[in-house]
Amino acid sequence: MGTRQQEKLRTIFDKCRKDGYFYDGELKDINYYNLMFKAGTNKTLETWGDSNVCSFKCNFKEKESILIIIGIPINSEKETSTSKNIAERIMELVNDAELCFTTLDYNTSIEIKKDKFIYITFIKILEDE
């Protein structure tokens, strides 16, 4: 299939597809910290490299989908080399996800300074699988 990282992401996706919890909130207003906490409580929080990953079933464009959220820890101090490493890490994660699923139906990222995380959000519509 691909790298270990891609295989791990595929496993997370397949587990959620089979037994995942449903997220019915708005994509614009995701409370990332609470979703990560919920995943930890439900024992569905995974690690992917040095990042935390949670996944939920959801509806996207009125189709059954899987929502994957990756939380990348960041330093509170802004160092150029650290920022560059995080940017490279984000690009690597997005690339692995695209190689794993061929196409992603939604992809965004946001830095939430109070959480000290950058969150990457992917959605994959299931009918394309």
Q: What is the pLDDT of residues 17-33, one digit of tens each?
A: 999 999 999 988 999 99
For the chain, which residues make up each domain, given as ranges? 4-128
pLDDT digits (tens, 9 = 90+) for 94-112: 888 888 888 899 999 999 9
What single-letter DSSP state applies at residue 102?
A: S
Prediction pTM value: 0.86
Q: What is the pLDDT of residue 3?
A: 83
Q: Which residue has the tokens 């992603």?
A: 104
Q: Which residue has the tokens 């690339």?
A: 95
| Alpha carbons 85 and 12: distance in angstroms, whole number | 25
- The pair of structure tokens assigned to 125 is 């519509």
Q: What is the pLDDT of residue 82?
A: 58
What single-letter DSSP state applies at residue 21?
A: P
